[in-house]
Amino acid sequence: MKQGLIAWLLAAVLTAPDMVAAQTPLRMVSEFLPPASMMEGSVVVGRETAKVRDLLARAGIAYTIELLPWKRAYAQALREPDTCVYSTTRTPEREALFRWVGPLNEAEWILYGLASRNFSLRSLDDARGLVIGTVLGDARDAYLRARGLEVAPVAQEWINAQKLLLGRIDLWAVGMATGSRPFAGKEWEGMVVPLLTFNRVQTYLACNRQLPENQYAAMQRAVAAMRRDGAMARHDLLK
């Protein structure tokens, strides 16, 4: 009896660190990018945020959410265990950098410009010589750089809208959920027009490579369940 008690206590001591580690909340980080992720008072909300909250609740995983400039959010998920960044475009160059949970959505990459400037773009080659607004560390920025286009990156996406309206950039490389209207209701909505869809991608919750296998598997099961019961589509209808 005494030997059995000693064995039980020893097992408890040896497994306690793992139990504590499993209870450490995951840190979710993203950028301010309405309607996907934004603040409502002191709470992070938005369409993609709702998906992340739903899948983590289904997976039974504790978490925190914070909005940061994109480059900083992305770097933290690369560097820090227990950290994930959304919504992240999955590319061949990034494949080995993260554990990918999803997909959460499909997106189009579109070049926007001022309607008053009457640009005609049939391909990216037609954009050569024009300055394109991008975000530091974003996949669109890397994609355009790799193809020799001139980019002018900023820390946060909303700055590009101001720069375009002021004529400080010629085009704006925007990523948006397929079929969405990201500028609906903006006072300048009619002044900015889509000129060229130059890529179609899928976006994911990208987690640090040290994410435990049991948490990764639970999140992937949650994503599959959300697709089966229609929750993914319902979240896309959120304003």
Query: Where are the domain boundaries for CATH 3.40.190.10 in the chain?
Result: 24-106+202-235, 107-201
Note the pLDDT of residue 112: 97
In angstroms, the CA 43 to CA 55 distance is 18
The region of weakest confidence among 8-17, 40-49, 51-60, 213-222 is 8-17
Note the pLDDT of residue 130: 98
State whether CATH 3.30.420.480 applies to domain 107-201: no
**Is the pLDDT reported for residue 34 higher than 60?**
yes
Note the pLDDT of residue 174: 95
Query: pLDDT class for 239, splitting at 50, 70, 90?
Result: low
| Greater model confidence, 17 or 77 | 77
- Residues 83 and 77: beta-carbon distance below 8 Å: yes
Note the pLDDT of residue 207: 98
Mean pLDDT of 209-230: 97
Note the pLDDT of residue 23: 63
133-166 residue pLDDT tens: 999 999 999 999 999 999 999 999 999 999 999 9
Which amino acid is residue 130, in one-letter code? L
Give the pairing type, strands 171-177 and 131-135: parallel
113-127 residue pLDDT tens: 999 999 999 999 999
Note the pLDDT of residue 177: 84
- The DSSP H or E segment spanning 231 is helix 231-235
Mean pLDDT of 81-104: 97
Note the pLDDT of residue 84: 98
Note the pLDDT of residue 8: 35
Note the pLDDT of residue 184: 75
Mean pLDDT of 77-85: 98
168-189 residue pLDDT tens: 999 999 998 876 777 877 888 8
pLDDT cut 90: percent of the chain above it: 81
Superfamily of domain 24-106+202-235: Periplasmic binding protein-like II (3.40.190.10)
Note the pLDDT of residue 100: 98
- In the numeric block, the tokens 């919504």 are attached to 87
Two structure tokens written together for 149: 């286009």
In angstroms, the CA 117 to CA 127 distance is 13
Nearest to 226 by CA among 26, 54, 84, 68: 54
